Structure 1
Amino acid sequence: MDVVGHWKLLLDEQRDAQRRLSKIVRDTKPARAAEAAGNLISIPTGDRMALVFFHSLEAPVQCALEIARGLKKEPNMQLRMEIHRGSVHQVRDVNDRPNVAGAGINTAQRVTDCGNPGHILLSKRVALDLAQSRRWRGHLHELGECPVKHGVPLSVVNFYSHQIGNPHVPTKIRLAQAKQARAKRLPTTCRFV
């Protein structure tokens, strides 16, 4: 997850925003339960925070929903969240704290970068798994491909309901779709010599 506009805040405001977000996250039932079971690694990194859940597909979704509800009490804090399921390796950071590395965490960050404030974006992989449940199916809205690092396309799904999430197409995806539409309309010319 990513605090939008964090870099614009003064240092004490950044610290306060991180403290408030950490409290919201710690107060979620899925995070508390996963942490108690040893199935969660939390990684705060300034304006971002990664919650790596092990052994559960629904816990990250439930956690995102509870965080979104908690943010309703924080109107000045804008967050964009992502959920991806992929391989990670547990490692120790330079301070000997638990951390993760691997394609899973890298892809999750790229999914986040596709969103705007309020979005809960899912990788297509997660959405396909969640679509098997009646509980989640109605909240999944296909967005198509989002160009990420090095222009590589990533299939993204928007998760929202009437009360939670952002129903609008993210700016990055809207611009990419407009660019594709313009490219299709360009006339093709041939010259024979």
Structure 2
Amino acid sequence: MSNVESKTALVKYIFLDIVGYSFNRTVEAQTDIISTLNTIIQTTLTEEGLKQENMILLPTGDGICIALINLIDPYDLHISIGIKILSKLEDYNLNQPSIERIFKIRIGINENYDNIISDINGRENVAGTGINIAQRIMDSAEANQLLIGQSVYEKLAQRSKYSKAFISFKKKIKHGIELHFFRYINNNIAGLNSEVFIQEKTVETYPKFIAIYCSLLIILKKQIYEFSSPGGNYALMLTISYLTEDIINYNNASDIDKKNFNSKLMRYEIDSLKGAYKAFKSTHFWVLADAWSYQESETEIYKWRSQFKNDYLTLIPEAEEKLFLENPNILEEVNEIIKNIFPNFYKI
């Protein structure tokens, strides 16, 4: 067994990703917005005069983690970088003619003494609690919000510039651990989402529609992956949303009504997932978009937007844990109802 020397450093993290990265965007548009984000980040870091040896940039696919190594001053360097990135993104969006290439990000900021390591490719990387919490904090943010961790807040809150600029939140994460984070509010910063939460969404119990919809995302995960495509996600979301309503209505029906059940999907002469997807996918894009907008409002799924990644087709890990905690047998129950309503639903 080899003994690798451990190098510990104070690391300030700016963890960010693109909201709705792949949702209804072509591959070319996805490539362009990644390039744009990289340019904005590189420009911001250059303007700050940061040296390469004091930072590690960790791409995450649709985002990046900026790790600042042993930089004590300025004390608010991490939040300052986050603010500048948001402001530059706002300028870009205001001058971008292509709707597909307009995008938003979410930012989580944290700091901690973590380990500087070499990854499997021999490059410098970071491991430790600080970077893990930074990602958890980012995952709690919505579009163009900037959230900070407890360790950052304790330093910033003592400064007059930030003394009344944060709103406190708590939520349960993996293994029942409570995450305490703070949302930065400043109406004078361009690009920063400073709309105030009415309440923290994750503390509520899932209503029936959300619980069943989420269970269907798990049950149909493989099929969703196969059918998902730019412009086709509305078709999938409508199919799953209508199926959710069918399951609720069937479950509430009497035994007699169940024998002659009036399914919402069957009105479109649909009896399988593939059939549903094809039927909706053949519809004009803007008709689908309008239909989903109506469905999103009627079902109030938008109130639970924070439980999904990018679109309404993938759950965040905490949402899956919450679902099973509140409804341990929901997958079996939903599967049984689907088989009763649509015997051929899973046939490809």
TM-score with structure 1 setting the length: 0.81
Q: 106, 116, 122: which one pairs with 1:96? A: 122
CA pair 24-72 structure 1, distance change in 2 beyond 3 A: same
Query: Is 1:12 matched with 2:45?
Result: no
Aligned to 2:57: 42
Aligned to 1:126: 152
SS at match of 1:34: coil
Aligned to 1:167: 194
Aligned to 2:175: 150
Query: Is 1:85 matched with 2:100?
Result: no
**Offset of 1:48 from its aligned partner?**
2.0
**Offset of 1:32 from its aligned partner?**
4.6
Query: Is 1:107 matched with 2:133?
Result: yes
**Offset of 1:7 from its aligned partner?**
3.0
**Offset of 1:177 from its aligned partner?**
4.0
- Report the Cα distance in structure 1 between the residues aligned to 2:131 and 2:47, rounded to whole angstroms: 18
- The structure with the greater share of residues assigned to helix is 2
- The structure with the greater share of residues assigned to strand is 1
Q: Structure 1 runs of 4+ off > 4 angstroms?
A: 29-32
Post-superposition CA distance 1:32-88 (Å, at most 9, x none): 52235x211111121120001122341111100110110112331110001111232
Larger radius of gyration: 2
SS at match of 2:41: helix
CA pair 141-40 structure 1, distance change in 2 beyond 3 A: same
Query: Is 1:138 matched with 2:164?
Result: yes
Identity, in percent, stands at 25
Give the number of aligned pairs: 176
Post-superposition CA distance 1:18-45 (Å, at most 9, x none): 1111111111157752235x21111112
CA pair 166-127 structure 1, distance change in 2 beyond 3 A: same
- Report the Cα distance in structure 1 between the residues aligned to 2:47 and 2:117, rounded to whole angstroms: 20
Aligned to 2:67: 52
Aligned to 1:2: 17
Aligned to 2:80: 62
**Offset of 1:122 from its aligned partner?**
0.5
Higher alpha-carbon deviation: 61-70 or 88-97: 88-97
- Report the Cα distance in structure 1 between the residues aligned to 2:172 and 2:195, rounded to whole angstroms: 17
- Report the Cα distance in structure 2 between the residues aligned to 1:86 and 1:163, rounded to whole angstroms: 29
- Report the Cα distance in structure 2 between the residues aligned to 1:59 and 1:10, rounded to whole angstroms: 35
SS at match of 1:73: helix
Q: Equivalent residues in 2 for 1:20-35 (5 A)? A: 20-29=36-45, 32-35=48-51
Aligned alpha-carbon RMSD (Å)? 2.2
TM-score with structure 2 setting the length: 0.47
**Offset of 1:90 from its aligned partner?**
1.4
- Report the Cα distance in structure 2 between the residues aligned to 1:14 and 1:163, rounded to whole angstroms: 30
